[in-house]
Structures are given as structure tokens and as C-alpha cells.
């Protein structure tokens, strides 16, 4: 059963819909709520979370549902009025939405979206980047992996931009980028938090330190190039990461950053689907991505941390199936297999397909796209 509510009287209307349908909620049923009173409020209730002491699903009466709604609304309204400080520019930030149980805030000044409270590295190491789950499908034999367009372009730019060959790939995963960089003439090393993917890289003859960049304890000025491909959005403290990168780079070393672009047209169109239809926004993916950057938030941060921008381009980073998967519409349909879940899946697919098509066409006329790749040179002074 799927209930979409867009009204101030959330609890009463939800109960009324249950009465009209004349059947209790069951395992896998969802209620999606979007309240447009002041700040954006978005909440999800999954019936599987309502259990008694023995673990059995409890029948939800009208009274119980109403109490549940009031409790949820009270909690959300308190958080929507709560202000936190932006971790990038220190300006005031407000609650944007809640997804996967994480509160996401948007900075009023630079526009960065971030999880608050931020998870620490130990939580990410223990709960998120688990060897048996995270990126467990990565290829093992790198010699059989073809060099993609993104890697080829980054390496071609670096050849014209750097004087030295020593390259460090932070968040190297299974070592695909390192492997191709080594064949392009670079002397490569890597750092990876996930021990499972790090083992794949090592099995292919690559040098990888398991853990965070700070834990690797490299000497200052050790590298001519440091790459952060899809890394900075995963890190709870981007400032600390960038500071360590600056310490490890040669005076004119190059820092390469690739990250999703929050302000692209596709994300703006799918945000409308979230606001109007309650479809979870695919652009934010906590707890894996704890920050979501754009040109407006990333460039000032790098400048403040002692880097001069040399080149920044927008590139495609994800496909339509990946984005649809992040809406969780297919998961909800498979769990419930109800008519309502099927309708929601169809609506999500239609909206996202249209948004994807429009955004791909518009990229032909603008510099806007779903990802950013930037090249920054370490400045002599900070």
C-alpha cells in the first residue's frame, strides 16, 4: 500500500485513506509525506519498522497511526527549525530532506548539501565500506578492463600540465585508474579504505595503503599529482583531506577532483519530482555521499585551501538506471508488488526518463552536466 499525502492535516488524511481502503497496512507498505509548511519536510514510514517486543508486526489502528504521525511530524518540525553551520563556508544551513534515516542540510550561502550530524571515519569503515558489500562487483583482472573516456581524458590533460611522474590515487578502489596511469608513464601509488577492493589492486601488482590518507603517513612533497576521483563527497571532513593533499604535493603539484554536480539540470528536474510526487531524490545518497558539491561550493573551498583553479569541466557521471535505483521505487515495488507501488514505479521511470533526455539535450548547448572534473595547482602561498 502506498499513501501520498500533500496536506497540512497529514495524520487525519492518512487515517481517512486507510479507512476507505478498509485493510490494515502490511509488511513492505509505505507512507510518503511531503509538507510544504516553511522548510521542506519529507518523511517515510515503513511498516516493517513497527514491531512489538517479540518482533511481530503490530496491527495499526487509526488511533495508533494518528499518534505515529503526530510523533513523526513533531520530530521533523523541530529539526526543520534547527539551524546548523555549513562545514564548507560556515554559513547558516537549513534542513532540506531526510533520506535513508539521515538528515540532509543545504547551505544558504554556497548551496552545498551535507549530512548532519556527519558520520565519523570509524562508522564508515565499519558499517558502510564493508569488503563483502561495497563495490564487491569490481573486476579482478585489470588487464581485461578497457580504459574509459574519462580516464583517457584525465591522463591526457595531466601529461600537458605536470612536470613530474609521481601520482597518488586517493580512494583508488580496485586500482583501475592506477593501472591505466601506470601504463601511461606515471609512477603510481594508491590509498583505499575498503580492504576488499584494495586486495584486488594489490593482486594486480599495484602499491596500495589500506586506510585513510592521513593514516598512510606519506612524507611532505612526495607527489606531483594527487587524484580524488569520486572521493571528496564521501569524506566527513573535506577540509582535512584537502589540507593533507596540499602537504603531500610538490609546490606546483596538481590536484584532480571528480565529483557529482548537484546544480546540474537533471538534479533540478528530479528535485521537482521529489517536491511534487514524494519520489526520493536520487541526487543525494547517504551514507555513501555525505557532501554534494557544485561549482559554487567547490571552487571557493579549493581557493581557501591553497589551490589555484586551472581547468574545470562538466562531464556525465551516471546513467538513468543508476539514478532510478537511487529513488528506491523498484525496491518498493518488489517488496510490495501492489498496484500503488507499480504506479509509483511507472511515474518515477517516466519522470526520470524525461528529465534525463532533456538534460542530455541541453548539455549540447551548455557546460552543464551531472559531474565535475577539476584540475587545481598547489599555490606557493596560503
Q: What is the pLDDT along the chain (382 residues), one digit of tens a residue?
A: 344 443 334 444 444 444 344 344 444 444 444 443 333 333 344 433 333 333 333 334 444 444 544 555 455 545 555 668 999 999 999 899 888 888 899 999 999 999 998 988 888 888 888 766 667 778 889 999 999 999 999 999 999 998 789 999 999 999 999 999 999 999 999 999 999 999 999 999 999 999 999 999 999 999 999 999 999 999 999 999 999 999 999 999 999 999 999 999 999 999 998 888 888 899 999 989 999 999 999 999 999 999 999 999 999 888 888 898 888 777 777 766 677 778 878 888 999 999 999 998 888 777 789 999 999 999 976 5
Q: Which of 309, 211, 217, 219 is nearest to 255 (CA)?
A: 309
Element (H, E) at 6: none
- Provide the number of structural domains found in the chain: 2
Mark which of 49, 81, 113 sits at the end of a domain.
81
Query: For residue 308, is it within any domain?
Result: yes
Looking at the fold, whether 165 and 44 belong to one and the same domain comes out as no
- Does residue 95 fall inside a structural domain? no
Considering the domain architecture, whether residues 63 and 128 belong to the same structural domain is answered as no
User: Which residue, of 29, 50, 81, is where some domain finishes?
Assistant: 81
- 31 and 125 fall within a common domain: no
| Statement to judge: residues 163 and 71 lie in one domain | no
The conformation of residue 44, written as its DSSP 8-state character, comes to E
How high is the pLDDT of residue 334?
A: 72
Q: What is the largest CA-CA distance in the chain?
A: 72
Question: Would 55 be classed as within a structural domain?
Answer: yes
Per the DSSP assignment, residues forming a β-bridge with 187 are 166
The CATH number given to whatever domain includes residue 290 is 3.40.50.150
CA gap 270, 273 in Å, rounded:
5
Please state, in angstroms and as integers, the Cα–Cα distance from residue 54 to each residue in 35, 51, 57, 61, 158, following that order: 34, 8, 9, 19, 60
Q: In this predicted structure, what is the pLDDT of residue 75?
A: 56
86 within domain boundaries: no
Q: Are 144 and 61 found together in one domain?
A: no
Tell me, what's the pLDDT at 364?
79
Q: Is residue 96 part of a domain?
A: no
List phi, psi (to 5°) of 380.
-75, -30
* Grid coordinates given for 9: 492535516
- pLDDT tens profile 284-323: 999 899 999 999 999 999 999 999 999 999 998 888 888 9
DSSP reduced 3-state for 332: helix
User: Are 130 and 27 found together in one domain?
Assistant: no
Task: Look up cell 537533471; give the residue.
Answer: 266
Burial class (CB in 10 A: 0-12, 13-18, 19+), 338: middle
Residues 321, 227, single domain; the answer is: yes
- One domain for residues 190 and 281: yes
Cα 154 from Cα 169, distance rounded (Å): 13
Q: Are residues 51 and 139 in the same domain?
A: no
Q: Is 262 inside a domain boundary?
A: yes
Q: Are residues 68 and 147 in the same domain?
A: no
Three-class SS state of 172: coil
The answer for residues whose C-beta is within 8 angstroms of residue 152's C-beta and 6 or more apart is 180
Q: Are residues 40 and 146 in the same domain?
A: no
Q: Point out the domain boundary residue: 61, 81, 101.
A: 81
Domain of residue 68, residue span: 1-81
Q: What pLDDT score does 343 carry?
A: 83
Are 211 and 351 in the same domain? Answer: yes
Instruction: Tell whether 39 is covered by a domain.
Output: yes
Amino acid at each position: 500500500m502506498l499513501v501520498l499525502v500533500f496536506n497540512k492535516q497529514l495524520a487525519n488524511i492518512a487515517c481517512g485513506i486507510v479507512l476507505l481502503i478498509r485493510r490494515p497496512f502490511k509488511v513492505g507498505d509505505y507512507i510518503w509525506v511531503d509538507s510544504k509548511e516553511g522548510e521542506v519536510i519529507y518523511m517515510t514510514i515503513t511498516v516493517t519498522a513497527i514491531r512489538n517486543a517479540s518482533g511481530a508486526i503490530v496491527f495499526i489502528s487509526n488511533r495508533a497511526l494518528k499518534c505515529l504521525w503526530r510523533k513523526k511530524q513533531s520530530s521533523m518540525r523541530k529539526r526543520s527549525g534547527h539551524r546548523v553551520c555549513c562545514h564548507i563556508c560556515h554559513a547558516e544551513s537549513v534542513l532540506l530532506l531526510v533520506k535513508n534515516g539521515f538528515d540532509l542540510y543545504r547551505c544558504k550561502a554556497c548551496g552545498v548539501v551535507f549530512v548532519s550530524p556527519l558520520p565519523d571515519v570509524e562508522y564508515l569503515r565499519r558499517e558502510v565500506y564493508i569488503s563483502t558489500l561495497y563495490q564487491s562487483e569490481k573486476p579482478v583482472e585489470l588487464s581485461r578492463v578497457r580504459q574509459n573516456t574519462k580516464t583517457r581524458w584525465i591522463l591526457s590533460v595531466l601529461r600537458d600540465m605536470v612536470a613530474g611522474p609521481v601520482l597518488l590515487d586517493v580512494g583508488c578502489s580496485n586500482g583501475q585508474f592506477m593501472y591505466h596511469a601506470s601504463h601511461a608513464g606515471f609512477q603510481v601509488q594508491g590509498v583505499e579504505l575498503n580492504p576488499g577492493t584494495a586486495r584486488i589492486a594489490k593482486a594486480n601488482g599495484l602499491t596500495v595503503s589500506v586506510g585513510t590518507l592521513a593514516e598512510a603517513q606519506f612524507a611532505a612533497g612526495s607527489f606531483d599529482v594527487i587524484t580524488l576521483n569520486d572521493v571528496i563527497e564521501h569524506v566527513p571532513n573535506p577540509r582535512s583531506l584537502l589540507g593533507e593533499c596540499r602537504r603531500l604535493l610538490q609546490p606546483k603539484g596538481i590536484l584532480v577532483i571528480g565529483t557529482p554536480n548537484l546544480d546540474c539540470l537533471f538534479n533540478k528536474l528530479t528535485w521537482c519530482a521529489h517536491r511534487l510526487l514524494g519520489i526520493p531524490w536520487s541526487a543525494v545518497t547517504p551514507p555513501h555521499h555525505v557532501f554534494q558539491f557544485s561549482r559554487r561550493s567547490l571552487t571557493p573551498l579549493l581557493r581557501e585551501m591553497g589551490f589555484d583553479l586551472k581547468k574545470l569541466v562538466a562531464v556525465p557521471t551516471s546513467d538513468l538506471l543508476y539514478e532510478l535505483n537511487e529513488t528506491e521505487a523498484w525496491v518498493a515495488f518488489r517488496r510490495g508488488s501492489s498496484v500503488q507501488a507499480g504506479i509509483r514505479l511507472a511515474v518515477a521511470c517516466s519522470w526520470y526518463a524525461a528529465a534525463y533526455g532533456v538534460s542530455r539535450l541541453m548539455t549540447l548547448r551548455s557546460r552543464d552536466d551531472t559531474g565535475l572534473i577539476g584540475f587545481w595547482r598547489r599555490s606557493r602561498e596560503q
